Amino acid sequence: AQKITQTQPGMFVQEKEAVTLDCTYDTSDPSYGLFWYKQPSSGEMIFLIYQGSYDQQNATEGRYSLNFQKARKSANLVISASQLGDSAMYFCAMRERGTSYGKLTFGQGTILTVHP
């Protein structure tokens, strides 16, 4: 079974509108971390936001927020006020307890296109 599932291969949004990118995960570990990264066409991976499984509040970083629903095992990324520069591939990833600090399991990604 997939550990990280991103069901939206591609998403479109109008500039200045908000968009939600979906991510569901599968783990039996009570302790885990969830990440979102942005990958522009240049190939670099840009860290956006992190949510720990024991964090009481949803993580926020500027225009990015993570809608963490633990019981549903979902960690959706919300981008508010989309900008043209937000057009990129977005990856959701998870680190489970007991694995290397560097070992993340990535989803297949969602390509976001922001229209002017």
Partner 1 sequence: SAVISQKPSRDICQRGTSLTIQCQVDSQVTMMFWYRQQPGQSLTLIATANQGSEATYESGFVIDKFPISRPNLTFSTLTVSNMSPEDSSIYLCSALQQLNEKLFFGSGTQLSVL
Q: Which of 10/52 has CB closer to partner 1? A: 52
Neighbours of 58 (CB within 10 A): 15
- Between residue 34 and residue 53, which ones bind partner 1 under the rule CB under 8 A? 35, 37, 42-47, 50, 52
Q: Between the CA of residue 44 and those of 88, 90, 91, 98, what are the distances in Å? A: 11, 11, 12, 27
CB of 35: closest distance to partner 1 in angstroms?
7
Q: Which of 6/87 has CB closer to partner 1? A: 6
Strands (DSSP E) contained in the chain are 4-5, 10-14, 19-21, 24-25, 32-39, 46-52, 60-61, 64-69, 74-79, 88-96, 105-106, 110-115
- Residue 64 found at the interface with partner 1 (CB under 8 A): no
- Between residue 84 and residue 113, which ones bind partner 1 under the rule CB under 8 A? 91, 93, 95, 100-104, 106-109
Instruction: Return residues touching partner 1 (CB under 8 A).
Output: 33, 35, 37, 42-47, 50, 52, 91, 93, 95, 100-104, 106-109
